[in-house]
Chains A and B, each alone.
Chain A
Amino acid sequence: MRIACLVKPVPDPEHYDRISVSPNGTLVRAGIPIVMNPSDRNALEEALKIKERRGGDVTVFSMAPDDAEGVLREAVAMGADHAILLSDRNFAGADTLATSYVLAKALERFGPFDLILAGNESADSSTSQVPSQVGVWLSIPALTGVAEIEHNESLTVRCSSEGGRAVYEVDLPVILAVKRGINSPRYTSFAGIIRANKTEIKIVRAEDLGSDASMTGLEGSPTKTLKTSVLDICRKGEYVEGDAGDIADRIINELRKAGALRE
C-alpha cells in the first residue's frame, strides 16, 4: 500500500497571542518556532499504523519554503520513508485552491498513491479545505472530519458529524482528513532521528513538477487578502484578588447583574 501524507509547517499554535501586525500591515510573528501542524501529526501516525499492518511505504509531502525541511525531517524521524518538499518562489502566496493544485501535481508525479492522509485543519488558517480540493484535482473522493479508519478489504471510515459519527465504506484511492482525536501520535525514537539524518529530503521546484504557473502561488489564487489586523477583543477588565469568600460574593453579584442567576 502506497500512502501519502500531507503535512504543513505552521507557527507553533501555543504562541499565537504573540502575533502582531506592523504599521504597514504585515504580520509580525518573529520568534515563534515553526512546528508540524498538530493534526498532520495524527495523519502521519495513522499512515504509519496502516503501513505497519498492511505493508508499503509512507511519503510525506509539504508545500513550503526551503527552511521547512526540519518539519519533514521530523516526519521521517517518526517513521515516514520518503519526504518531498515542494518549494518554489512561484508557489508563494497560494490560497487553498492553488495549494491543492501543487500538492495534486506532486501526488501525480510521485504517485500513484492508494491512500492520501492529511490533518483536518491547519492551526494557522484552519480552513479545512485543502484535502477535499486535492481530491477534486485528482478526481478521487475525499472525506473530512475523520475520527476513525478501519482498514479491511475496503476502508470503513467514521466521520464526526453533529451528534455522532457518519460511517462510510470507501474504495481506494481516497483522501482522508483526520481529526486530532483519532490517535495519539508516537514519540520520536532515537533510531528514527538517525534514519532521518541519513534520509534525503527531496526538494522539488515548479519546473520539476511541470505545474502551470498561472495556477500556482498568488497568480493562481482566486482569493486575495486586502488587509490583516489583530482582532481586538480586549475588554476593559478589573482585577480581583483576595479572600475566596469575597471573590465568591463578587462573582454571584456580577452574575446577578448580568441576569444569569435564576433565583
Chain B
Amino acid sequence: MAGEQELVRKAVIEFAEREVAPHAAEWDEEDLCPVDVLKQMGQLGFLGTIVPPEYGGTGLGYTARAVVLEEIARHSAGLAMAAMTHYLGIEPILRYGSEEQKRRYLPKLATGEWMSGLATTEPSGGSDLSGQQTSAELKDGKWVINGRKCFITNFDIADVCVMVARTGTDDKGRPELSAFIIEKGTPGFEQGHREDKLGLRSSSTGDLVLKDVRLDESALLGKRGDGIKIALGTIGEVGRPGMAAIALGIIKGCLEEGVKFARERIIYGKPLTNVQAIQFMIAENRTDYDAARLLVYNATSLKDAGNRCDVESSVAKLYSTEAAVRCAERTIELMGGYGVMNQYPVGRYLRDAMTTISAGGTSQIMKVVIGSDSIRKMQ
C-alpha cells in the first residue's frame, strides 16, 4: 500500500535524523556498534518487518526492510549493516525453522530483544561453501561441533546465530552441510578476534570459535543436508538485496551532501551549483540513485510477491554497490579539498561503499550469477 510505504519511510527518516545522524561519525571513528540504538529500532519494529504478526513481527515485508536499511544507511551504513545482518539470522529460522524453533526465536528477534547473525564464512572462503571445515558429529544424541568461522558480522552482539557445518558426505562424495541454531553462552562457543574494518565500522565483525560445542538434536535447522540451500537462499535473496539497499542509502547520502555543499560553497563569487561541470556530477549521482533504487525495490517487490529474486538481487547488488563507490568518489571530487577532510562525511561514505562490495559476494560473484542465468535463459 502506497500510504503505508510512505508512513514507513517517514517514520524511519524521523528516527534516523534524530538518533543516527548526530552520532554516525563518532561511531565510525570509535568503531562502535551502538547496540542500544539497535534495540530502539527493534522496539519500533524496524528489525522485524519480514516476521509475520503471529510470531511478533509486523509482516510489512522485504520492501519495508529495504526502506529501513536505505534510510539508516543514509546516515550510518555501519549501523544499517548490523541491522541487515540481524535479518540474516531471522530469514532461515522463518523459512526452515520448526514450529518450536519459530516460537522460541522469532518473537525475540522481531523486536530486537535478541540480536542475531549468520555464520557461514570460514578462513577458506565465503562464497565457496563446499570447502567448509567446521564439522558437526552426532554423538549420543548431541551434535558435537568443532571449527572456526570468520568475518562474522554481529559476532559479539548476536544472542543467537544460524551457522553451517559439515555433517558428513553424500552418496557422490560431496560434503553434506547442515544448518544449526546456536545461542550465545553455549559452552565451547566463543568470540575470537575482532576485525578492524576499512568501512561499515559501526558494525562489529570477527571470529567465532567452536570447541567441542554440544548442541541438542533440536538445534538442527531444516533437514540434515539443507545447509547449502539455507545459506545460499538467505544470502542470495536477503543478504544481497540488503547490501544493495545499504549501498542505495550511501548513494542518497552522496547525492544530498553533494548538493548541500555545492549550494553553500562560493567560487568566483557564485555558488558552486552555478557551475555546469558541478551540475553534471550531481546529475550523475542522481541517475545512479534512481537506477539503484529501481533495481533494489524491484528485487524486494518480487520477494514480497513470493517470487524468486536471486538474480535480480545480484543485479541490484552489483549495480548499487559499485555505484555507491562511484558516487562517493565523484562527490569527493565535487568537494575539492574539503572532500578529503574528515569533518565532512563523504570520506566515510567511500570507505563504507567499498566495504559493501565484498559483503555477501563480490562483484565477480554477482557477475557469475547474472552471467550464467542470462546465458541459460537466452539460449
Q: Given known contacts A188-B11, A190-B48, what 15 new A-B pairs fall within 8 Å (CB)?
A: A73-B7, A74-B10, A187-B15, A187-B44, A188-B14, A189-B45, A190-B46, A190-B64, A191-B45, A193-B4, A193-B58, A193-B60, A194-B4, A194-B60, A197-B1
Q: Across the interface, do B3 and A189 meet the contact criterion of CB distance under 8 Å? A: no
Q: For the complex, count residues of B whose C-beta is within 8 A of A.
A: 20
Q: Across the interface, do B3 and A190 meet the contact criterion of CB distance under 8 Å? A: no
Q: Across the interface, do B3 and A70 meet the contact criterion of CB distance under 8 Å? A: yes
Query: Which residue from chain A places its CB closest to the CB of B7 in the assembled complex?
Result: A193
Q: Most chain-B Cβ atoms within 10 A of its Cβ — which of A70, A73, A77, A190?
A: A190
Shortest Cβ distance from B309 into chain A, in angstroms? 22
In the assembled complex, A196 has its CB within 8 A of some CB on chain B: yes
User: Which B1-51 residues have a C-beta within 8 angstroms of A?
Assistant: 1, 3-4, 7-8, 10-11, 14-15, 43-46, 48-49
Docked CA distance A188–B15 (Å) = 9
Docked CA distance A190–B8 (Å) = 7
In the assembled complex, B266 has its CB within 8 A of some CB on chain A: yes
Shortest Cβ distance from A246 into chain B, in angstroms? 16
Known: A190-B49, A191-B45. A73 touches B3 (CB 8 A): yes
Interface range on chain A (Cβ under 8 Å from partner) = 10 to 19
Q: Which 4 A-B pairs have the closest CB atoms?
A: A190-B45, A188-B11, A190-B58, A189-B44
Q: Across the interface, do A193 and B11 meet the contact criterion of CB distance under 8 Å? A: yes
- Which residues of B does A touch, CB under 8 Å? 1, 3-4, 7-8, 10-11, 14-15, 43-46, 48-49, 58-60, 64, 266
- Enumerate chain A residues within 8 angstroms of B59, measured Cβ to Cβ: 194
- Enumerate chain A residues within 8 angstroms of B46, measured Cβ to Cβ: 190
- Enumerate chain B residues within 8 angstroms of A191, measured Cβ to Cβ: 45, 58
Q: Across the interface, do B60 and A190 meet the contact criterion of CB distance under 8 Å? A: yes
**30 residue pairs bridging A and B, Cβ less than 8 Å apart:** A70-B3, A73-B3, A73-B7, A74-B10, A187-B11, A187-B14, A187-B15, A188-B11, A188-B14, A189-B11, A189-B43, A189-B45, A190-B8, A190-B11, A190-B46, A190-B48, A190-B60, A191-B45, A193-B4, A193-B8, A193-B11, A193-B58, A194-B4, A194-B58, A194-B59, A194-B60, A197-B3, A197-B4, A197-B7, A241-B266
